[in-house]
Amino acid sequence: MKQISFISVKRDECKYERLIDSIKRLRVPEGYYINFIETTAENGMAAAYEEARNVSNAEMNIYIDGNAEIIEEKLVDKLIDIYSSDDKIAIIGVTGAKYIPTSGLANESGKIYGQLKAESGSILTENPNRTFLNEVISVEGFFMAIKGNLAWRSDIFTGESFYDTAECIEYKREGYKTVVAVDDNPWIKYDRVCGAATYEEQKIFLDEYSKDIYPLVSVVIPTFQRPEYFEEALKSVINQTYRNLDIYITDNSHDDRTCKLIQKYLRADSRIKYEFYPEDEKEKNISRYYNYDNPKAEYVNYMMDDDLFKPEKIAKMIDYFLKYEDVSLVTSYRELIDNKGNRLPDASFSKPVAEETTVYDGIAAGNYLLKSSRNFIGEPTTVLVKKSILNGRYKGWSGKEGRYNISDYPLWLRAMQYGNLVYIREPLSCFRIHAGQSINNRGLLASGRISFAYEIQYAINNSKYLEKESDIRLAYMNWILSAVPILELLESKVETLAAKEKTDMKKIRDILFDMSKYISGNGTTDFEVDVVSEYY
């Protein structure tokens, strides 16, 4: 005879008797018998269930809340059938989470599957496809059928939170599955009670299990001879609430100040990888920055060494990737700060584009970016990208931008062809404004405008975004408005321009001419912005 044990903690005398009666009514298949074990939760649910597990000799242990009631009399038959269908199934629940939010709280998941009858009689069904078996990360602890003999983590959980998710992950570590069964009718009657988790319990859970349930995120930082800013940037990454990070730093400083200061961080944090190339110039360092590829990482955030992350940046962004499968990029409003870290007023390029967090259709967002001639999505620091849609190439859109390959919006345009954009209204990063940054360089201002014109033409020529004539006209008009001040600046300094700057000045004039002809009705969109031969 095979034993099946029902294990429970008494919470309410009347409901507990009701649970026992519902167990007695169950149909017991031939060759099985049922045992009932009552335990106490004085030292937490994990300790209660671990104590019961140690005295149970059952093939299957069914852990059930004392306030629940079994309303499916063929429950045992159904559980046996499920286990017989797949020997990798270890845990069966009636409600569970497809993913765990970065808070670690499974009940906050945006994808909870299952079926449950409330005490009021109403039936809760959370399963859009009505699939009988749904593989999940964890099930809710008020009902857990377990075939296996792994210990409950009473060594680290002493309350009533996280014990159930932890047990599911322990079985996952051993290669077993956790599933939710959604039958024609609910199996269990129960009113959910979600107790508050303590900060300490949450920290223990995230420290122990983040690598098991959350995707690896690469944060890639190039740095050059500004150790004070770099250290602040690095600290903001290290202090992320999101644990599962891969931090890569490539340094081409011509002195060793950064190399010296980073040593203590390398000793303290194994997530950091640091490479020092003091003989290399900027182009080689940037090449390493964009070519870095940890094959285990699913997402990447390129970060400038003078910017800052807010502590929950990566965690909050990953939550949207976990919730929405069709998202390519997640960005946010970013704060401007000065050289000392003081908050600055918004500039035209940094003003929020929405009053609340919004999911944008990728094509519509790319279309707006090109029409407005404004990179509203943000700089590399601001954006978290899904690597799978990049196909191994981490810069540019066409791949032929040459020296006009700006580090941010061409990549955003490429990514948004394949998925949507989430804009988080909360500021999750800081963009530092200071005298030494590249946005103050007139040459880069000029090449940046040429880059934008090139991407506009690439979109038109390849039927990506800008498919309406009205959109093309608006893109041209806004580009002209943004380019004229740059052209005037170059023309006012023509005596001091370098050869490349003079080339760029002529390119901007030519593009202005072609776009103006089209807007006036005397031209076409057939002109090319020739950047192919312009490589470093």
pLDDT over 70 at 438, yes or no: no
Residues 6+ positions from 420 with CB-CB distance below 8 Å: 324, 326, 327, 328, 359, 360, 361, 362, 365
Cβ neighbors of 73 (< 8 A, separation 6 or more) are: 25, 26, 27
The fourth-level CATH superfamily of domain 2-211 is Spore Coat Polysaccharide Biosynthesis Protein SpsA; Chain A (3.90.550.10)
**pLDDT score for 535:** 38
Closest C-alpha to 390, from 535, 291, 282: 291
User: DSSP readout, 353-392?
Assistant: S-SS-EEE-HHHHHHHHHHHT---S--GGG-EEEGGGTTT
Tokens of 452: 């934008």
One-character DSSP codes across 83-122: HHH-TTEEEEESEEESS--TTS-GGG-S-EEEEEE-TTS-
pLDDT, tens digit, 9 for 90 and up, residues 269-312? 999 999 999 999 888 998 898 899 999 999 999 999 999 999 99
Residue 206 has pLDDT above 90, yes or no: yes
Residue 140: half-sphere exposure toward Cβ, Cα within 13 Å: 23
Q: What's the DSSP call for residue 193?
A: -
The string of pLDDT tens digits covering residues 367-398 is 999 999 999 999 999 999 999 999 888 889 99
CA gap 169, 90 in Å, rounded? 11
Alpha-carbon span 62 to 345, nearest angstrom: 59
What is the model's pLDDT at position 443? 82
Which residues is 329 bridged to in the sheet? 385, 421
Residue 440: pLDDT band (50, 70, 90) is: low
Model pLDDT, residue 331: 98
Q: Identity (one letter) of the amino acid at 249?
A: I
Residue 73 CA, distance from chain mean position:
42
In sequence order, the 6+-apart residues with CB closer than 8 A to the CB of 498 are: 443
- The DSSP code for 493 is T
Pick the CATH number of 217-440 from 3.40.50.12280, 2.60.120.20, 3.30.379.10, 3.90.550.10: 3.90.550.10
Residue 162, token pair as written in the block: 């996280």
Q: Which of 110-119, 329-338, 428-437 has the lowest mean pLDDT?
A: 428-437
pLDDT for the residue numbered 536: 34
Q: Is the pLDDT of residue 481 over 90?
A: yes
One-character DSSP codes across 11-77:
--HHHHHHHHHHHHTS---TTEEEEEEEE--TT-HHHHHHHHHHH---SEEEEE-TT-EE--TTHHH
User: Does the pLDDT at position 23 exceed 60?
Assistant: yes
Type of residue numbered 251:
D
* Segment among 257-261, 484-488, 529-533 with least mean pLDDT: 529-533
Average pLDDT over residues 233-251: 98
